[in-house]
Every structure is written in C-alpha cells, then in structure tokens.
A and B are shown apart, each in its own frame.
Chain A
Amino acid sequence: MKRITLISLLFLALASCEKVIDFDTSVSHSEPVLNGVPSAGKQLFVYFAHSRFFLDSTNYQPINNVDMAVTINGTDYLPTMVDRCNYYFNYTVQEDDDLSIRILAEGKDIYAHTVVPRMPRISQPIAFTNDTGVFHLLIVNFNIDDYANHKDYYCITLRQRDSGCRYSPYFDRYDTIDTTYNTFFLCNDHALVDPFIATNLSVSGFSPLNQLLTTDSNIDGTNHNTTLTLIRLTDTNEVVPYIHQYTLDVETVSPERYRYLQEIANATSMLQLITEPPEIYSNVSGALGIFAGNARRTFPLITLTGGTQPPPEDH
C-alpha cells in the first residue's frame, strides 16, 4: 500500500501539466504612456510611447503626430529633439521648478504637473569593508541634513556595477559581465525604516528595485547620521580579478514620485502572488505613467576586487 501511494503521488506530481492558452489579442488595447522625471541639474526629457501587449516581446512603439509642450515657471517650451520615444527640451531643470506638460495625440488631451524638490544635503559618505573570506561586508555611513519645516521624501539606493569574467557551470563556459543594478542592503535605522521591518533585518522596501523609501517625519530639520550595510557572499564562479564598484544614490523626490515608487515596491513583493494585481499610481490624466520630479546626488563609494577562479587560458 505504501509503495502504491508513493508511486501514485509521484505520478500526480509529474503528470501536472502546462498548456499554452490560445489568447484573443483583440481584447487588449494599447494605451499612451507618459513618463517624465524632471531631475534637478539635468536636461529635461520625457518618454512618450504606446504601451505594449503583455505577451509581446518587441520594443515599445512611439506615437506619431504628437503636439507636446511643457510650461516651466510660466514659460512654454517645445521639444527640440526626438529620439524614438524620448522627447528632449532645451532646458536644464532647477530645484523648485514648477512644471506642467500638455500633449495632444491620437485624439487625447494628456496633462500632468509636478514641482521639482530641492537637492538633498548629504555629507560625503564613509565606506569601509570587511572581508571574512566567505563574504564581503560593506558598511556605508553618511549624514542627511534635512530641510527644516519642509516635508521631504527620500529614495536611497546602493548601486553596484559588476565587471569581469564569470564561469557559468550550466553552460560550462566563461562569460564577460558588465552590469549595473540596485543592490540589496540592510538598514536598521528606526528613524528611517518602520521599526518592525528594520528589526527583522530588512530593508530597501521589499522590492526588486531595492530602494529605501522614507520621509523626514522622524528627522525633520536634523542632521541625521545613518548606516547602510551590504553583505555580499563570495561568488566562487567569479574569475580573478572581478570588479565590484559601489555607488550611493540619494534622491529627494516629489510626493507623486514617492507614492509611485512605493506602489511599485508593494506591487513587486512576493505577497502580490496572492492578491489582485494593482494599478500603479499615475498623476497623468489621459495616459499611463508618471510625471514627477526628483533631485539626485550620487557618491562613488568603493571598488572591490573579487574572484576565486583562475582566469582561463584563452580569456
């Protein structure tokens, strides 16, 4: 009986099958998408294109015959260059700029508005590392000098650039890597992170975006010191010398961008597997997307070398 049951359960597990569903693509309708993040100190540009069907792997398609104008502090600007879906304006965004955008395209009147936040006042971060042989510990310490009597929203990111050669056991080959991404880090600063989340060794918003989203509600007007910790296990497939470059990004973001990033973080958490898929916040009328300003400061931190494998002879 035991053997019969075991075999039957295995049969059940193995026989569970997948099947492609014939899908009627006519039920889907492409929507215009406007993405704009006016960033202090950078040239203004916006992205405007069609959304794409979820089973479509091709690139997003631009929208033709677009009538677009941006009003900045009462002055109108027209795009001076279009590169596929990106529309560039001959204007460098400043702190406290008041921007609104209006687009007429495909019979739709699209409008959005934002105010660019002030640049974050961040002290030069101090980064030090500890290599245990099994993992690298990167500790980053810096001060946030928060603006007093002003509601500020922050987005903190540790960016990692990996470059070098890596062995792929699956394909039994060496691949050259050069990739940059937001990396996972820990922060147990109760002033910036919900105490429950912070104490549970957690972090950066529970999101694949790996961003720590926080406000100044606990640090308003103070010069607050905080620490981020990154633990990177040694990858035995990296080939010597493998390079890891770390950068700290601290953004002040507009309230619209803060809500937008928060909803993205929530929408990409594992718990979303058991919930109804949410629609991400948009402050754009007539289109999908967001038009919300930010001000970013970037600090190079440290460059580490790694790798445990010897380089291949032909590499």
Chain B
Amino acid sequence: MYRHLILLALLITPLALQAQHTISGIITDNATGETLIGATVLDTRSGKGTTTNVNGRYTLTLKENTATLRITFVGYEPIHDTIHLKGNTNRNYKLHPSIQLQEVVVRAQRINSRESAQMSALEMPVEQLKAVPVLFGEADIMKAIQLLPGVQSGNEGTGGMYVRGGGPDENLFLLDGIPLYNVNHMGGFFSAFNADAVKNVTLYKGSFPARFGGRLSSVLDVTTNNGNDKEIHGNASIGFISAKINVEGPIVKEKTTFCLSARRTYADFLLQPLVQRMATDVDGKSKLVAGYYFYDLNAKVTHKFSDKSRLYATFYHGNDDVYTKVRTESSLAEDQYLDFANNWGNTVGGLRWNYVLGPKLFMNLSASYTQYNNQMVVGIEKDAVLDDGSEQVSTIKGNYVSAIYDITGRWDFSYTPRPDHNIQFGTYYTRHRIRPSVASGSIDYFDQIQMNNAWQMDTTLQEDTVRANEIVLFAEDDWSINDVFKINYGINISGFGVENVFYPSVQPRISGRALLGDNLSFKVGYAYMSQYMHLLSTTSVSLPTDLWVPSTRRIPPMTANQLAAGLCYNTDIGVDLSIEGYYKHMRDIIEYKDGATSFGSTVGWEELVCLGDGWTYGVEFLAQRNYGDLTGWVAYTWSHTNHLFNRPGQELNNGNPFPAKYDRRHDLSIVLTYKINKQIDISGTWVFSTGNTATLAMEKYPVASDDPDSYNSTPNMTTTLSHVSSRNNFRMPNYHRADISINFHRTFKGRKSNLPDIEGADAPVWHPKMRRTFNISIYNLYNRANPYLTYTSSQYSYQGYGKALVQLSIFPILPSVAYTLYF
C-alpha cells in the first residue's frame, strides 16, 4: 500500500512546481444555462485539449502565450476563440444548440473518445437513450443501458442490470453522486430514473477510476439537470400507465435555478371499478379496495454565489405501494377486515458545494443521506357480536421491515498542474445503519367457542440492526505521457468496520491507451474492487423479498479482479468501432442455500447463505454512430459466467462449478434512430440473447414410507420428490424481440431574441414558444412469445393426457401512445 502512495506522491509533486498559463472556466448551454458535461476544449495550435467534468468545468494549462481554442459539444455550434495569455485566465463559454450538426463538431468529439485513457466506459447522449423504444412507451434510461455491450437485462421487460457476469447488486447507481440502493419500480419493469430529469449518464464496466468504489461490476453515474437559469421551461406528458411533469427555471435569474420532476402511475385509479366488481359477495356487502402505484420526485436547486462558488441541493424520493383492504360482513354477525400493504423505495438528499480554489484546483464538499426502506404490513381484524350483545374484537397484525440508512460526507479535489496531468483525490466517510430483516407480530384472538382470549402475543423477530462505518481515500491521475501513450492510474483505499471487525482494502486501478494511428487506439486496464453491501435475492425478478445485507463478522466483503483489453477504431464514415475482451474473478460472493429464503424465516440471514467464488470472461463489440440523421449502435457480447461454492459446509451443486443465473453465451442489440425530417423521427431496436438458465428438477422419485402399498398408488405432489442433478441445468429458449417507436414533433410559433454568446458578444437565438411530441410505440413488433417463466403442466395431445414443460410469455405485441408538451 505504502509503495503505491509514495509513487503517487513522487509523480504529483514536481508537476506542481512548473509554471504554466492556465485557462479555466465553465461551459454552458446558451439557451438554458445548463452546464455541459464532456464538452471538448482544444487548443488547435498545440493540439492540447481537455473535456469538461461533471460540473461543466474545464482546466487547460498551456506553455504558449497565445491559445486558439475550439470548444465543441455534440448538438451545439462550435466556438472558436483566440486568447493572449499573460497569466492564468478564467473563460466561460456558452454554446448554442445546433439543429444541423457540422462534421467538425463530431470529429472533435470522436477524437476525444478515442484518445481517452479510460476503457470499459460508455457515455451515451441522453437524448439517444431516451429515443430507444421501450415497454409502454415510457422512456427509460436503464432499459436503454441494457442494450449496451456487456450489459444484460433480467427477465422480460425488467430493469435488472447484469454487467460482465455480475449480479444486480454489484452495480453502483449514483444520482448526482449519491448512491441509490433500489433503482426499480414495479418489480423492475420501470427504473427509478425519470428520464426527464437526467442530464448525463456514464457507465463504467471495468477499469474503474479510483474515485469510485464499493461495487464489483459497474458504476452508473447519473447527473440530473441543474435547471434553466433564464426562464421557466418544462414539459408534461401523459402515457400508457403514467403521467409526469418536469419544470425548471430560475429562482433568481442566472443565480439560482431549480429543476423539479414528478411521475406517478395511475393504473390503480383506472382499475378500481374492476377491483370492486371482483369483491361482490353473496349479500353484496363485501368491499375491496386494492391497487398498485409508484411515484418518484426529483428536485434540484443550484445556487451560483460567484463564478468560483456554487451550491447544489439534490433530493429524490421514489416509492412503490401495493395495498389491499377487504371488509367482509358474514352471516355470523361478524365483520372481518383484512389490510395488506407493501411499500418500498428510496429517499436521498444531498448538498454539494463546488468551489474553485485556483485556476488549477477546485474542490467539492458534500454531505448526503440515503434511505432504502421496504415495509410490509398485514392486519386482520374480526369484530364479533356475542349472544349477550357485547362486541369482541380479535386482531392479528404482522409487520416486516428491511431498511438501510446511510449518511455520507465527502471532500474531493481536482487538480490540473499541467495539460498532461489531471489529478483527482479525496476522501469520504459513510455511516451505515442496516436493518436487514425485522419481523414483528401481535395477536389478540378471542375464541368464541371457549369464550376466552385464546391467543395473545406481541413479539419481534430478527431485530438485528447492524451499524457499520466505511471510510475511503482515493487519488487518481489522468496522465498523457506523450502523443501516443496515456494512462489513468490511481488507488482507492477503503475500510469497513462492522461488529468489531475491520476489513481494509487497497484497490489499485490502472488503464491506458496507445494510439496506433490516426484512427486506431489500443486500450488495457486493470481494477481491483471491494464490495461491502450485498443483495440477497431468490429470483430473477426484483421483488420486495430481496434483502440488502452488509458484510459482517461472518460474511467478508466480496472482491473482484478484472483485466480488460481492447481496440477502438474511428471509421471515416462516422462510425466508431470498439472491441474489448475481459476476465473477472470474484471472491466471497454470496448466494442463498438451496431452498432458502430469509422471507418468513425464523433464523438469521447469515445462516441461510453460502460463500463462494465466480469467474466470468467475454468479448464485447460495439459499432456506434452518434450524429447525423441516422444514429444508433450495434452491440454484441459473447460471455461465460460460472460460480463455484465448494467451501466446507457451504457447498452448492455438490461443490461443483455451475453457470450463473445470467450466464448467456450471446447477446445482440441493434438500436437505430432515423430522423426523417424536423417533424418525424423513427427508432427501432432488435435484441437477441441466449435463454436464461434455470434449475430444473428432472427426475422424480417417491417419498419413503413404511407402508408398502403407498408405492403402488398414483404418484402425486405429496408422494413425489424431485431430484436436482445440478444447479442452472436448464436453458430457456432464446429471446428475441423487435420494438419500434415514431415521434411526431410540432413546434408552435416562437420568437427570436438576442442573448449573450461568449461573454460580451451577442448572437441571435431561436426561442420556440411551445412544442409537442406525439409518440407511438410498438413493443414486441412481431409478437414473439418470449419465455418469462416455465412450469410443468398437464397437456392433452392425440396420445392422451401427458405432462409438458410450458413457458409463460407475458408481453405480446403491445402498442402504446404518449403525448408530451414542452413549454
């Protein structure tokens, strides 16, 4: 560990001593004031360049006295600026949105992506992700991310993400830098990220920069909109199952902005008449209220104290709620009430202060709170009128809670001593409070026959709150060694203290690239990762029974070593090609024992899990076009993922290796968007993947009995046992599906006005008054019956009745419409 630190210090120190001219500033959208992430600033004289960070800030240090800067960003008109440098200079730029992209813009962006030392990272334009046609026409960033190479989806229609053989808990989801534990709504059919609130999405699948930690397989870094700093804008839309609104604007013009997004499903309102009809009783006195809905709320307030100082406040709250209330009036002069409610979701909030300490150094100081909560409540009440006219009430109540409460403080810095170095370092501390599974119940039961309170109880099971402390130190440097070689190297040192044990972890990270010509680069990377939080799940669908648990004295952290290498090639026809191979070895992964689930169990979760290892390898191919009338990508992944649980007393599959739940040999996605004209664009996707694995008990045998005649009776469920030859021994049929989506845009009459371009200059800007988009989507265009789950069933054929393995498909061809109004 110390060798890594000394090496880093030796590299950093001399860089700071060399005097240079530094240009720094923020690049924003001229129309909205929104900071632009990933915009390119290139000095055309020296060829030195940089990109803006997550705050829209850039820093470029040059030796020359004159700089000719070209500032570019996809979808915006480029800016050229010549500066005579006499010292450190602050320069902010405002880019104009461009309807028709120019070749030079894209060229700059593409060179940047090829030149980056970072590998296994994908930064997709949000507008392109939103254009991907999805289920119910609900734009969903997670669903679009699933179409990228190395990323696999869960079951049909769900938002589970399996990156390079990792489980759904091995992904770090960051919303403005704050971790989210549950990113799914409706069992995974929708993600927690409201696309309207999102500004930028970056996915890291390997070679993780040192500033990220805590998960083995991926980091999905989502940045939300700051809000328009000039005037109030927004959009409202209504779709197949949900309605949403997004409003942003200035609170104090060009000083304080807000962005507010809200979404709610409304199927529970619409289906209520149907539900009530189902509740009809013989005397018509039963009443049923039942439904399901989810909602989420994103809010962000940004305040600009000065060019050097900004404050960001982020809030997110999302919740799913299932509820059932039944009242039954029976003929025994009894009223019975049954209440069931299950709600789960996240609440996060954070404050971040971004301050420029100098032209080469700025910092972020932040504090955040994350809460994940899953609560299930069941209540039964019986009111009985006795013969003497008195009333007796019996109640049974059950309550199940699983929750996580995290408080985090973070302080990080970005330092650019020279154009060939960009150093980031910092620390953060998280206080975890985890209640993996707390069940409580109370009973007060009046027995009408024995005329007494037969059962009375009030008890709590598994109140096993765990408190843990996690501290992290990190430093990384993005170093351009020369025109050919560039590396990003760093170290993440973390420690996790829980139940009087401390798990330290030193995690080196490095990735580099070598330019092999004008269009070709070779990249290689290595990362070591540790993970202290685990998700215990029994199924392939995200269920409320999934349990987040921490590392404990008995359960060590999961770790992974990942090595990746690849080539990146920019063709002359505007298509970027990349191919990457990877190998990842995981240690101390956990899985439930056969037949175990913590839901309803009276023993602690640690008794129900096994520790083991896993390894995965594969090759990913991506061809992508981000500009022009035709955009999209083709992604293909070939992979193997295996698990091994052979530690004494913790064997699964008799201690032999077995394919992981999401081991898929082939995964292909084709995503295309074509802009027919200004009014119409059309998108289509086609996906193909090898079928999921499942465990199938392929042999049956009778239950042992001391009665010889029992073996001669007809086998049935209670007299037959199943033999499982090996885990995940069955593969479901292959999955493929095509979706299509058409957008009809219309812009209403607007106006032109003059707003500042580069500070001090004027340029005309087009301000549409209002526009709308009418979307028609068709999910599963050719009505492919894809498997959702399988089961055995009795079937009739010309040979008579027999048993068959049957697949259930849940989504046939599914058209939907959505209407969005932008104002």
User: Which residues of A pack against B, CB within 8 Å?
Assistant: 1-2, 5-6, 8-9, 12, 15-21, 23, 27-31, 33, 35-39, 42, 45, 47, 49, 51-57, 60, 83-86, 88, 130, 132, 134, 137, 188, 194-197, 199-201, 208-209, 257, 260, 263-264, 266-268, 271-272, 274-280, 288-290, 292, 294, 296
18 A-B contacts (beta carbon < 8 Å): A16-B809, A18-B806, A18-B807, A28-B698, A31-B701, A31-B723, A36-B704, A47-B708, A52-B700, A54-B697, A54-B700, A188-B455, A194-B602, A196-B602, A199-B459, A274-B599, A275-B595, A288-B701
Query: Taking the complex as formed, is B722 at the interface, i.e. its CB lies under 8 A from any CB of chain A?
Result: yes
Most buried by B among A8, A294, A296: A8
Asked whether, in the complex, the Cβ of A51 is within 8 Å of the Cβ of B699, the reply is: yes
- Please give, as numbers and ranges, the residues of chain B lying within 8 Å of A197 by CB-CB distance: 602
Asked whether, in the complex, the Cβ of A275 is within 8 Å of the Cβ of B795, the reply is: no
**Supplied contacts A5-B267, A52-B700, 16 more A-B pairs, CB within 8 Å:** A9-B271, A16-B810, A19-B806, A28-B725, A35-B702, A36-B704, A47-B702, A47-B708, A53-B699, A55-B803, A56-B803, A88-B708, A199-B443, A208-B718, A272-B595, A276-B695
Separation of A188 and B396 alpha carbons in the complex (Å): 15
Separation of A15 and B808 alpha carbons in the complex (Å): 11
Query: How many contacting A-B pairs (Cβ < 8 A)?
Result: 210
Closest to B815 in A: A8
Asked whether, in the complex, the Cβ of B711 is within 8 Å of the Cβ of A54, the reply is: no
Q: Which 7 A-B pairs have the closest CB atoms?
A: A278-B595, A278-B594, A35-B704, A39-B706, A37-B706, A15-B812, A51-B699
CB distance from B610 to the nearest CB of A (A): 11
| Contacts of B772-789 to chain A: CB distance below 8 A | 785, 787
| Contacts of B750-799 to chain A: CB distance below 8 A | 785, 787, 790, 792-793, 795
CB distance from B670 to the nearest CB of A (A): 25
Separation of A27 and B699 alpha carbons in the complex (Å): 11
Asked whether, in the complex, the Cβ of A33 is within 8 Å of the Cβ of B706, the reply is: no
- Please give, as numbers and ranges, the residues of chain B lying within 8 Å of A39 by CB-CB distance: 706
Separation of A90 and B539 alpha carbons in the complex (Å): 50
| Contacts of B372-386 to chain A: CB distance below 8 A | none
Asked whether, in the complex, the Cβ of B805 is within 8 Å of the Cβ of A45, the reply is: no
Partner of A264, one of B459, B721, B810, B811: B721
Partner of B711, one of A47, A88, A200: A47
Separation of A84 and B708 alpha carbons in the complex (Å): 11
Asked whether, in the complex, the Cβ of B785 is within 8 Å of the Cβ of A60, the reply is: no
Query: Taking the complex as formed, is B600 at the interface, i.e. its CB lies under 8 A from any CB of chain A?
Result: yes
Separation of A280 and B809 alpha carbons in the complex (Å): 31
Closest to A134 in B: B332
- Contact A21 to B807, CB < 8 A, known contacts A15-B812, A260-B704: yes
Q: How large is the interface on B (under 10, 10 to 19, 20 to 34, 35 or more residues)?
A: 35 or more
Asked whether, in the complex, the Cβ of B718 is within 8 Å of the Cβ of A37, the reply is: no
Separation of A260 and B809 alpha carbons in the complex (Å): 36
Closest to B810 in A: A16
Closest to B794 in A: A57
CB distance from B420 to the nearest CB of A (A): 53
Query: Taking the complex as formed, is B457 at the interface, i.e. its CB lies under 8 A from any CB of chain A?
Result: yes
Query: Taking the complex as formed, is B104 at the interface, i.e. its CB lies under 8 A from any CB of chain A?
Result: no
Chain A facing B: main interface SS? mixed
- Please give, as numbers and ranges, the residues of chain A lying within 8 Å of B708 by CB-CB distance: 45, 47, 83, 86, 88
Query: Taking the complex as formed, is B238 at the interface, i.e. its CB lies under 8 A from any CB of chain A?
Result: yes
- Contact A264 to B703, CB < 8 A, known contacts A31-B723, A208-B718, A275-B596: yes
Query: Taking the complex as formed, is B724 at the interface, i.e. its CB lies under 8 A from any CB of chain A?
Result: yes
Asked whether, in the complex, the Cβ of A277 is within 8 Å of the Cβ of B697, the reply is: yes
Asked whether, in the complex, the Cβ of A54 is within 8 Å of the Cβ of B701, the reply is: no
Asked whether, in the complex, the Cβ of B441 is within 8 Å of the Cβ of A200, the reply is: yes
Most buried by B among A19, A31, A37: A19
- Contact A21 to B699, CB < 8 A, known contacts A51-B723, A188-B455, A200-B443: no
Closest to B728 in A: A276
Separation of A52 and B711 alpha carbons in the complex (Å): 14
CB distance from B538 to the nearest CB of A (A): 5
- Contact A280 to B808, CB < 8 A, known contacts A30-B699, A271-B600: no
Partner of A271, one of B597, B795, B803: B597
Most buried by B among A12, A84, A199: A199
Asked whether, in the complex, the Cβ of B792 is within 8 Å of the Cβ of A55, the reply is: yes
CB distance from A181 to the nearest CB of B (A): 8
CB distance from A187 to the nearest CB of B (A): 12
Separation of A47 and B719 alpha carbons in the complex (Å): 14
Asked whether, in the complex, the Cβ of A274 is within 8 Å of the Cβ of B543, the reply is: yes
Asked whether, in the complex, the Cβ of B441 is within 8 Å of the Cβ of A268, the reply is: no
- Contact A21 to B271, CB < 8 A, known contacts A132-B449, A137-B449: no
Asked whether, in the complex, the Cβ of B718 is within 8 Å of the Cβ of A17, the reply is: no
Asked whether, in the complex, the Cβ of B543 is within 8 Å of the Cβ of A19, the reply is: no
Closest to B816 in A: A8
Closest to A267 in B: B595
CB distance from A311 to the nearest CB of B (A): 26
Query: Taking the complex as formed, is B125 at the interface, i.e. its CB lies under 8 A from any CB of chain A?
Result: no
- Contact A51 to B701, CB < 8 A, known contacts A83-B708, A130-B449, A194-B602: yes
Asked whether, in the complex, the Cβ of A5 is within 8 Å of the Cβ of B270, the reply is: yes
- Please give, as numbers and ranges, the residues of chain B lying within 8 Å of A200 by CB-CB distance: 396, 441, 443
Separation of A33 and B665 alpha carbons in the complex (Å): 35
Closest to A278 in B: B595
* Interface membership of chain B positions 214-248, coded 1 if the CB is closer than 8 angstroms to chain A and 0 otherwise: 00000000000000000000000010110000000
Separation of A199 and B445 alpha carbons in the complex (Å): 10
Separation of A66 and B260 alpha carbons in the complex (Å): 77
Separation of A34 and B801 alpha carbons in the complex (Å): 29
* Interface membership of chain B positions 325-337, coded 1 if the CB is closer than 8 angstroms to chain A and 0 otherwise: 0000000100000
